[in-house]
Amino acid sequence: MPGRTWELCLLLLLGLVLGSQEALPPPCERNSLGALPSVSEYFSDITQDIMGISGFKNILFFSHRGNFNQHPKASYQIYCHGELLHQVQMAKLYRDDKQFVDMPLSSAPEQVLQRFQELANAHNHSIPQQELQGFLKEHFQAMGQELQPWTPEDWKDSPQFLQKISDLKLRAWAGQLHQLWKKLGKKVKPEVLRHPERFSLIYSQHPFIVPGGRFLEFYYWDSYWVMEGLLLSEMPETVKGMLQNFLDLVQTYGHVPNGARVYYLQRSQPPLLTLMMDRYVTHTNDIAFLRDNIGTLALELDFWTENRSVSVSLGEKSYVLNRYYVPYGGPRPESYSKDAELAATLPEGDREALWAELKAGAESGWDFSSRWFVGGPNPNLLSSIRTSKFVPVDLNAFLCQAEELMSKFYTSLGNDSQATKYRNLWEQRLAALQAILWDEEKGAWFDYDLENGKKNQEFYPSNLAPLWAGCFSDPGVVDKALKYLEDSKILTYQYGIPTSLWKTGQQWDFPNAWAPLQDMVIRGLAKSPSPRTQEVAFQLAQNWIRTNFDVYSQKSAMYEKYDISNGGQPGGGGEYEVQEGFGWTNGVALMLLDRYGARLSSGTPTAFPEPHCLAAALLLGLLLRFLPQ
């Protein structure tokens, strides 16, 4: 009888999974051989797992997922991998590979694939360009058709923070940045919900703010700085809707994808969802929303624990930290031809590993940077990328911050056991950051190279991410970080903090500067009780605001990155042209204008004060505060 009961339980569990609308693991994934696992393969694995202890966990894990039929396998063979994707992207019909994978289908994916197969067979799988262009015109629509402009309902003129800005030119500019939210607002059309199989875009119930330019969809870590700007613009309902979109993605896929496209599902981005929730709840005191979604926040952190953890030994102790790691082969669909051509420079046996490292680099948000090349055969070449071989400072600072916030959240909700759990995780990570990544002599944290067993001691603003995240126990480290910046000669740059000191032609290297990295350093230094360190934070903010303002004055646009080597200009390098918009740049500018508005100036830039001049600058700043406004 016990055996019969077990069989009935097994059948019941399988029936629940098969009969529900719950998804299997994220679509658009490929196994190590580059093939999509079949449904029968999944259920074969489930059946085997059920006979062991892990089986029940696996089935419970599947229950988080959304509608498995949302994007049938056929659409992945168009947008994620397969001959159609390969032929179109390698024909280079479009200036940007992303354009093709953002184009909606005009009919069902099965029909499109069948017609393509007929065309390929007719030409012995070498389709002439004109024929291929005709096929695309017949079966695809122009990119962007699935989205419509949206003016946020909670947008209003003249948010209060504008009155804190003393410089009238900067105040007027801030008002124009506030206007940009209307330009960047998007809403998904209803047909994406009715026919999701025809789109690479993942349906989102709530409207959102996009970065701008080629980025028509929303992205994970960009959205944190966008939300900070929206809250200053007094738009909490827009923020809540964007937060709900992210929470829905976690419920459907078990993690937040890189962006809202099926071809991004293999990877995530820097985990800032818990911080987004904290900023929203702090602004609105919407504890009910937190209570309803605390379990989803925990689920997202579980994704990083279960899929991105690594053990690092030091002496007789071992520490668990995290890394970026995307163990899937094949070129990135949105950069297919570039990935394929880069892989062609390597032996065939090394290509899948290269593609996995490129995806991990994209997951880091730093796509791409010498930061991930150091220790490779040629640290100036993208083909040397080895992202997953590093324990990154910023990733672990973000997770440390999230664990501390989760402990705070659970305490506020009266769940002491979960509060203690996350408090312990936070303490463990603090100890690991101190033991593995902190360098007392240099006064900063450094990425740890797992293969070579040493720190990467090159300069990156991310080396100070624990300051920004509040993940340190000794208040004195903030002033040590200032000395680190002085020793690295970073304070000699008048137009912004460089992303690195390496000039590789990649966009996350010199001479580019990025808004979120400015924020990390500025707000990190501002945590110091030292007036001198706080004054440096202000001067860095002044430099960045002036660069943004001057370029906007010339070009009437905000950019995703800036070249700080020659007076401050739109940035360059990397895989695509510099983009206008721009979500997180706008958000950081508004944050700095809010924080330092009484002192910031739109005037002519001056050299960064030397350390011995800072006392005079500080005294002047204090006097200005007491003058009538």
Provide the β-strand partners of residue 562.
Answer: 513, 570
Backbone angles phi, psi at 569, to 5 degrees: -140, 170
Active site residue 560: yes
Backbone angles phi, psi at 321, to 5 degrees: -130, -175
HEC readout, 34-53: CCCCCHHHHHHHHHHHHCCC
C-alpha R_g of the chain: 25
Number of helical (H) and strand (E) elements in the chain, helices listed first: 24, 13
- CA neighbor of 515 nearest in space, from 494, 550, 540: 540
Tokens linked to 291: 């209570």
Segment holding 293, helix H or strand E:
helix 287-307
Active site residue 367: yes
Return d(Cα 270, Cα 256) in angstroms, integer: 10
Return d(Cα 338, Cα 382) in angstroms, integer: 11
- Give me the sheet containing 147-149, strands edge to edge: 147-149, 185-188, 208-209
Structure-token match 């690594």, residue found: 310
531 near 618, Cβ under 8 Å?
A: yes
Instruction: Output helix, strand, coil percentages for the chain, rounded to the nearest 5.
Output: 55, 10, 35
Give the active site residue among 197, 363, 560, 594: 560
What are the CA-CA distances from residue 184 to residues 160, 172, 580, 584 (Å)?
A: 21, 19, 11, 11
Segment holding 455, helix H or strand E:
strand 454-455
Structure-token match 């944050």, residue found: 591
- Please provide the DSSP assignment of 232-276 as one string: HTT-HHHHHHHHHHHHHHHHHHSS--SBSBGGGTT---S--HHHH
Provide the β-strand partners of residue 563.
Answer: 512, 569
Return d(Cα 25, Cα 226) in angstroms, integer: 29
10 near 47, Cβ under 8 Å?
A: yes
Return d(Cα 246, Cα 205) in angstroms, integer: 10
Give the active site residue among 367, 404, 447, 509: 367
Residue 64, classified by CB atoms within 10 Å of its CB into exposed (0-12), middle (13-18) or buried (19+), is middle
Return d(Cα 379, Cα 368) in angstroms, integer: 12
Return d(Cα 419, Cα 174) in angstroms, integer: 40
Provide the β-strand partners of residue 314.
Answer: 317
- CA neighbor of 238 nearest in space, from 148, 149, 152, 147: 152
- CA neighbor of 242 nearest in space, from 186, 300, 320: 186
Backbone angles phi, psi at 429, to 5 degrees: -70, -40
- Residues noted as catalytic: 367, 560
